[in-house]
């Protein structure tokens, strides 16, 4: 290879490189995208203290891990025993099913996709009926007294009438978490103590919902809290004072089987 050949090969090579570079630049230009968004900025989780008045960011600290202040329903006192025990004293017929409730029929509507506003209006119309019926406590007491025998045992009819009155006053405040995967399988019992003024004494105790597993424990806790919230929101109850002995302690079983 002569020197001249060498030079021309070198020049050709250089020209090719330049051409390639130019081409790839052109290609890059053709491929050019709009400025891409930056990667999402990082967000770091830290624990926070009781006093937020901090000039400096709180130090991330495992020791100061947030403690659950609310008593989790799962830790609540064990749910009272099944209610069958109540039926021990005098021989008692099976607890009568409550009378057909005015709230039931309209609440079935949500099965089909409805728009919420029309749904709400349906429910709004239907619900006031129940509480209104129960407001006449003197009549209620009369009914119950008429039904109750002279002795101070719980007559099943009296208990059923009282239960219906409580249901009518508490159900409108229950907002169960609908749409959750496990909602239809869950029920929870809330134990409540009422004062003579119809107000809740202390914090009602929610038991562990049926159907709770390790996989849905968060959902079960939220579910139990909706039941406790219903009891706390709808008070004081308006119930016949002369029958206070019967309703001072109540176990309410929340079961959304008629929802959805």
Partner 1 sequence: MRLIPFMLALGLPAAVLAQAPLRVDINAGLMQPMPIAVPAFAPGNGGNTEAGTTTALGQRAAQVIAADLKSSGLFRPIDPAAYTSAVGLDEVVKPEFPAWRTIAAQALVTGTITANADGGITLACYAYDVFAGSEIARQGFVTTAAGWRRAAHKCADLVYARLTGESGYFDSRIVYVSETGPRTKRIKRLAIMDQDGAGHRFLTSGQNLVLTPRFAPEQQTITYMSFENNRPRVWLYTLGSGRQEAVGQFAAMTFAPRFSPDGQTLVFSMSVGGNADIYRFTLATRQTTRLTTGAGIDTAPSYSPDGSQIVFESDRGGSQQIYVMNADGSNQHRISFGDGRSASPVWSPRGDYIAFTRIGGGRFGIGVMRPDGGGERLLTNGYQDESPTWSPNGRVILFARSDRAGRSGLWSVDVSGLNERRLATPLDASDPAWSPLLP
Could you count the other beta carbons within 10 Å of the beta carbon of residue 34? 5
Nearest distance from residue 2's CB to partner 1, in Å?
43
- Which of 81, 94, 150, 214 forms a contact with partner 1 (CB under 8 A)? 81
Here's the x/- map for partner 1, 113-142, by CB under 8 A: it reads as xxxx--xx--x---x---------------
What CA–CA distance (Å, rounded) separates 152 from 162? Answer: 15
Chosen residue from 140, 144, 170, 205 binding partner 1 by CB under 8 A: 170
Please answer whether residues 144 and 240 qualify as being in contact, where contact means their C-beta atoms are separated by less than 8 angstroms.
Answer: yes
In whole angstroms, how far apart are CA 78 and each of 170, 189, 192, 206, 209?
22, 10, 13, 9, 11
User: What is the smallest separation between the CB atom of 180 and partner 1, expressed in angstroms?
Assistant: 6
The minimum distance between CB 111 and partner 1, in angstroms, equals 9
> Given candidates 4, 68, 93, 99, which one binds partner 1 under the rule CB under 8 A?
68
List the one residue from 134, 172, 205, 207 that touches partner 1 (CB under 8 A).
172
Near partner 1 in 175-194, by CB under 8 A: 175-181, 191
Number of residues this chain uses to bind partner 1 (CB under 8 A): 109
Q: Which of 74, 157, 232, 238 binds partner 1 (CB under 8 A)?
A: 232
**Which CB sits closer to partner 1, 176 or 208?**
176
Residues in Cβ contact with 178 at an 8 Å cutoff, skipping those fewer than 6 apart: 110, 256, 259, 260
Figure out which of the listed residues 1, 51, 62, 77 binds partner 1, where binding follows CB under 8 A.
51
Among 89, 93, 94, 202, the residue binding partner 1 under the rule CB under 8 A is 89
Determine if 171 is a binding residue for partner 1 (CB under 8 A). yes
Question: CB count, 10 Å around CB of 106?
Answer: 17
**For the chain, how big is the Rg over CA atoms in Å?**
34
- Please say which residue, 2 or 179, places its beta carbon nearer to partner 1: 179
Q: Which of 166, 205, 207, 208 binds partner 1 (CB under 8 A)?
A: 166
Is residue 146 involved in binding partner 1 (CB under 8 A)? no
Exactly one of 103, 134, 205, 208 binds partner 1 (CB under 8 A); that residue is 103
210: closest CA among 68, 70, 82, 88? 82
Separation of alpha carbons 110 and 129, rounded Å:
19
Burial of 3 from C-beta contacts in 10 A (0-12 / 13-18 / 19+): exposed
Q: From the CB of residue 225, how many other CB atoms can be counted at a distance below 10 Å?
A: 16
């Amino acid at each position: 290879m002569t020197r001249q050949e060498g030079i021309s090969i070198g020049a050709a090579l250089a020209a090719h490189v330049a051409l390639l570079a130019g081409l790839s630049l052109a290609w890059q230009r053709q491929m050019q995208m709009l400025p891409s968004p930056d990667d999402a900025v990082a967000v770091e989780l830290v624990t926070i203290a009781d006093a937020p008045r901090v000039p400096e960011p709180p130090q991330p600290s495992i020791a100061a891990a947030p403690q659950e202040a609310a008593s989790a329903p799962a830790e609540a006192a064990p749910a009272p025993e099944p209610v069958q025990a109540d039926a021990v004293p005098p021989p008692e017929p099976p607890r009568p099913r409550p009378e057909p409730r005015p709230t039931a029929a309209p609440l079935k509507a949500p099965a089909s996709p409805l728009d919420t506003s029309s749904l709400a209006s349906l429910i709004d119309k239907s619900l006031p009926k129940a509480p209104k019926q129960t407001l006449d406590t003197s009549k209620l007491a009369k009914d119950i007294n008429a039904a109750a025998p002279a002795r101070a045992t719980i007559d099943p009819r009296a208990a059923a009438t009282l239960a219906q009155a409580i249901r009518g006053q508490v159900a409108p405040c229950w907002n169960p978490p609908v749409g959750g995967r496990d909602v239809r399988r869950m029920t929870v019992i809330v134990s409540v103590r009422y004062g003579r003024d119809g107000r809740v004494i202390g914090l009602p105790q929610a038991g562990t919902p049926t159907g709770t597993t390790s996989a849905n424990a968060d959902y079960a806790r939220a579910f139990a809290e909706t039941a406790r919230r219903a009891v706390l929101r709808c008070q004081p109850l308006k119930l016949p004072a002369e029958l206070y002995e019967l309703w001072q302690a109540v176990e309410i079983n929340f079961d959304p089987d008629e929802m959805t």
